Amino acid sequence: MWSIGQMKERGRLAFKANYWPCVLVAFVMSLLTGVSSGISGFHGKNSADEYAQQATDTFNGLPVQGKEVIVTAVISIVAIVSLISILLSIFVFSPLEVGGSHFFKKNLVDPNTEFSEIGKGFNNYGATVGKMLLMNIYLFLWFLLFIIPGIVKSYSYRMVPYLIKDHPELSASEVITMSRQMMNGNKWRAFLLDLSFIGWILLSVFTLGLLNIFWTFPYMYSTSAALYRELKGI
């Protein structure tokens, strides 16, 4: 039975043994996640109707025709930003997540793993995009129900990016099923493992986020890869 201390120790040692490539890969992964979340937050907090109402209220003193033009422009911008966010998430961010997960998994046994390994997430591109898309659709549907079931399922599907690279012969549903099986009985402890980094994350506030870039994020990604290898028995 694995322990939080063991996983963090393995992750930390592997990360420190190949410091700069780990920092760069983690930076790319966290940057893309942040951009995606930021864009999603922009168009997710308000509906197009709400943005239209805000635009109408802001330019209330303009003639009716002028307000209609501005409202139409606002709705168009929101729609374009939403579309770009979705397309980037599907066709760019997902393969990079697979490639980054592959990098940290490999780095646990090869301290000379190069940054370029992140690009291998684009190998077998169509299948990778399709499998990640299905997983994200499932997660989206679970989060539509309630937040807690969505979080639980996010832990069930945690190993999907690693499995996609390790088992390209499996279908999307088979990869998701394998991840669920690996995480059975491990979701709560995996949550506690993530929670154990909260101190580093809070401390990063005092360094304007620099601690996250140069220590916390690569440490977390490396530890997550260690958990995958432990549950996979490799």
7 against 34, higher pLDDT? 7
CA pair distance 67, 80, nearest whole angstrom: 20
Q: Is 159 helix (H, G, I), strand (E, B) or coil?
A: coil
pLDDT in tens, 222-233: 999 999 999 999
Q: Please state, in angstroms and as integers, the Cα–Cα distance from residue 49 to each residue in 2, 13, 37, 144, following that order.
A: 50, 51, 21, 20
Q: Helix H segments across the chain?
A: 4-17, 19-44, 48-58, 64-88, 94-107, 125-145, 147-156, 160-166, 172-183, 187-195, 198-203, 210-211, 217-232
Tokens of 9: 């120790």
- Residue 139: is it exposed, middle or buried by C-beta count within 10 angstroms (0-12/13-18/19+)? middle
Considering the chain, what percentage of its residues have pLDDT values greater than 90?
70
Average pLDDT of the residues of the chain: 88
Tokens of 82: 């939403």
pLDDT in tens, 105-154: 999 999 999 999 999 999 999 999 999 999 999 999 999 988 899 999 99
CA pair distance 155, 144, nearest whole angstrom: 16
Length of the chain: 234
pLDDT in tens, 182-203: 999 999 999 999 999 999 999 9
CA pair distance 83, 115, nearest whole angstrom: 30
SS in 3 state form for 53-67? HHHHHHCCCCCHHHH
Is a pLDDT exceeding 70 seen at residue 54?
no
pLDDT value of position 40:
44
CA pair distance 189, 56, nearest whole angstrom: 49
Is a pLDDT exceeding 70 seen at residue 94?
yes
pTM for the model stands at 0.85
What confidence category does residue 57 fall into, taking pLDDT thresholds of 50, 70 and 90?
low
